[in-house]
Amino acid sequence: MNGAWQSFRRRRRNLAALGLLLAFFAAALFADFLASDRPIAMRKQGTLYLFANLIDYRELRSFEARDLRAGDWALWAPLRHGPYSIPAPGSLLTPPPLPPGPGHPLGTDRAGRDTLARLIHGTRASLAVGVAAALLQVCLGLLLGLVSGYFGGLADSAITRATEVLLSFPLLLLLLVAQGVLERTTIASTAAVIGLTRWADTSRLVRAEALRVRALPYVEASRALGAPPLRILLRHVLPNCLAPALVSVAFGVGTAILVESALSFLGFGAPEPTASWGLLMADGFQDVLDPNARPLVLFPGLAIFLCVSAFNLVADGLREALQPRAQGAVVPSAFITSDQKRALSPAPMPAGAAHEVATYSVPEAK
């Protein structure tokens, strides 16, 4: 594993993509501490309230900043707007969406909600859907691919035919049909639909690896010694199939984020008023001719591009790092040609034949 990490970190683009992903996950994890209309901690009328941005205190349900009196204090998030905060009627001088300004760094949407707050909280929704869908996709594909590749027979034929049928349908059309059957779409249903319709790619990769591993000598030896099939499958075949599954997870998260954004943009993904990158773009597209609405399309689109690109770069780096040659399993002899190898190991000569000693020279490394 140390060799895989050394191979992964050798390229700066892999580390840059990994750092970008950590920033996205940090924003998703601490979204309530970055953008919230409730204080993180406050003292009001002698009572201390901790994590008021996370805990729904009954005494603070109608709290506003102007309610603080002498001796009271509050610790606010850097952005004092929540993803669902709607200004009071008549408090805005111009109708929304508002342009970027001191109070709203990226402006607002048509309902007056802060764009930056919804962009930060949308990171949580998009990453949650992407990770959940990718894990479901890989778990299902890993299980079916192992059964298909190792046992073969009728199970292999049934799973292979199901994979081919599933891959024959356009992905977006299949997702729209599946989402249209549901009465109400949620974040969980969107992740489940994406995961249940994308396991075929992972299953094909794992099946090919299982077919290769089951024919290796140590697997044949274990079978000859009487080891049960389940032990061989879990002890020998499964560990060798985890590398392509791990790469598939990284690629799957990026694809799921892109698909979820497309579904939300079309109205088949996260429901209103959920903070989602796709919903933000859909809100901005409805007023695309309004210059104040352009940040609703530009910044969520940029976030989707950066997040999906980072996942793809990390997945590509993992694929290169987990190859046997990258981990030192294959050491090429760069300075010995075929003629020199034959000279090192000459063919046996007939009895009585003159034996000529071959000479060779190894070129110097440049």
pLDDT per position as a tens digit, 281-298: 988 888 777 888 888 889
The per-residue pLDDT for range 223-248, each reduced to its tens digit, is 888 888 888 888 888 888 888 888 88
What's the whole-number mean pLDDT along residues 187-205?
88
pLDDT of residue 231: 87
Predicted confidence band at 363 (pLDDT cuts at 50, 70, 90)? low
| Confidence check: pLDDT of 306 > 90 | yes
pLDDT for res 345? 52
Quote the CA–CA distance of 121 and 164 in Å, as a whole number: 38
Least confident range from 87-96, 297-306, 348-357: namely 348-357
pLDDT over threshold 90, residue 311: yes
Percent pLDDT > 90 in the chain is 27
What is the average per-residue pLDDT within 317-324?
A: 78
- Going by pLDDT thresholds of 50, 70 and 90, the confidence category of residue 324 is low
- The model's confidence at residue 308, banded by pLDDT at 50, 70 and 90, is very high
Q: Answer yes or no: is pLDDT of 26 > 90.
A: yes
Q: What pLDDT, on the 0 to 100 scale, is given for residue 301?
A: 93
Are 349 and 355 in contact by the 8 Å Cβ rule? The answer is: yes
Rounded to whole angstroms, how far apart are CA atoms 62 and 36? 15
pLDDT at 331: 40
Least confident of 80-89, 121-130, 292-301, 346-355: 346-355
- Model confidence at 19: pLDDT above 90: yes
| 135-185 residue pLDDT tens | 999 999 999 999 998 888 898 999 999 999 888 888 888 888 887 788 788
**Res 119: pLDDT:** 94
Q: What is the pLDDT of residue 121?
A: 94
Question: Is residue 333 scored above 50 in pLDDT?
Answer: no
Asked if the model's pLDDT at residue 337 lies above 60, the reply is no
User: Is 90 exceeded by the pLDDT of residue 32?
Assistant: yes
Superfamily of domain 116-321: MetI-like (1.10.3720.10)
pLDDT over 70 percentage in the chain: 87
pLDDT, tens digit, for every residue of 40-82? 999 988 889 899 889 888 888 888 888 888 888 999 999 998 8
At 354, the pLDDT band (50, 70, 90 cuts) reads low
